[in-house]
Chains A and B, each alone.
Chain A
Amino acid sequence: ETGVTQTPRHLVMGMTNKKSLKCEQHLGHNAMYWYKQSAKKPLELMFVYNFKEQTENNSVPSRFSPECPNSSHLFLHLHTLQPEDSALYLCASSLKYGQGPYEQYFGPGTRLTVT
């Protein structure tokens, strides 16, 4: 149990669908992250929110839209995805972003398959 939960754990969607991934952390952290983990590639940082403000957008296509309504919740809204977007999407949180070795705590991930 890491204190970071993600739903759903598995998602299959067509290219014309709209879906959302949800992440919740119960650790009292102030920074939250979305990562993409594809086979044979390093983890790719997608977005960072620090105290609800987006501080990093790692050149992510606009078909991925993050939302952070408060420090405990993070969403990733998906629309008109491509098959190459199939991957494991990991959410993480840390006490803060930057200025310190704030280790990140990861959720179990959502396995996304785009058909």
Chain B
Amino acid sequence: AQSVTQLGSHVSVSEGALVLLRCNYSSSVPPYLFWYVQYPNQGLQLLLKYTSAATLVKGINGFEAEFKKSETSFHLTKPSAHMSDAAEYFCAVSGNNNAGGTSYGKLTFGQGTILTVHP
């Protein structure tokens, strides 16, 4: 079984400030982890993914995330927020091991965090 918890349904930052969106996961097998972004009236777009290579993953638009196994976390950060970053962000997990019939291709999403950026 796998699950994702995103801490904080709403995060508000000033333009130029650090963005930190929190994600903790639970997985019975080594996970793959993803961050997606959804702009208003659009579908989800992949920001970055962790696939058990480097623990610090760089994505598009200046975002990065660090996989910390000891903390079961995969927090998303960006050093300096831009107005165009305002959107909803989703963390997702899937298993990477076909053990015991687990549907390891299945993505489980968190509830999302709405990021607001103030001028």
Task: Mark B96-119 against chain A: 1 for CB-CB distance below 8 A, else 0.
Answer: 101000011111111110000000
- Smallest CB-CB separation from A94: which chain B residue? B105
Contact A108–B42 (Cβ < 8 Å)? yes
In the complex the two chains form, what is the Cα distance from A103 to B4 in whole Å? 17
Interface size class of B (residues with CB under 8 A): 20 to 34
Given contacts A42-B112, A101-B51, A101-B96, contact A90 B43 (CB under 8 A): yes
Contact A41–B111 (Cβ < 8 Å)? yes
Contact A99–B105 (Cβ < 8 Å)? yes
**A107 contacts chain B at the CB level, 8 A cutoff:** yes
Tell me the dominant secondary structure on chain A's binding face. loop
In the complex the two chains form, what is the Cα distance from A97 to B106 in whole Å? 8
In the complex the two chains form, what is the Cα distance from A89 to B25 in whole Å? 25
In the complex the two chains form, what is the Cα distance from A86 to B68 in whole Å? 38
Q: Which of B49, B103, B111 contacts A42 (CB 8 A)?
A: B111
**A66 contacts chain B at the CB level, 8 A cutoff:** no
In the complex the two chains form, what is the Cα distance from A57 to B105 in whole Å? 14
Q: How many residues of A contact B (CB 8 A)?
A: 30
Contact A98–B43 (Cβ < 8 Å)? no
**B45, B98, B107, B112 pick with most chain A CB within 10 angstroms:** B107
**B43, B49, B96 pick with most chain A CB within 10 angstroms:** B43
In the complex, chain A residues whose CB is within 8 Å of the CB of B110:
42
**A32 contacts chain B at the CB level, 8 A cutoff:** no
In the complex the two chains form, what is the Cα distance from A88 to B104 in whole Å? 25
In the complex the two chains form, what is the Cα distance from A55 to B43 in whole Å? 23
In the complex, chain B residues whose CB is within 8 Å of the CB of A92:
43-44
In the complex the two chains form, what is the Cα distance from A94 to B36 in whole Å? 14
In the complex, chain A residues whose CB is within 8 Å of the CB of B90:
43
Given contacts A2-B45, A90-B43, A109-B43, contact A102 B105 (CB under 8 A): yes
Binding site for A on B (CB under 8 A): 4, 32, 34, 36, 41-46, 49, 51, 90, 94, 96, 98, 103-112
Binding site for B on A (CB under 8 A): 2, 4, 6, 31, 40-43, 45, 48, 50, 55-56, 90, 92, 94, 96-109
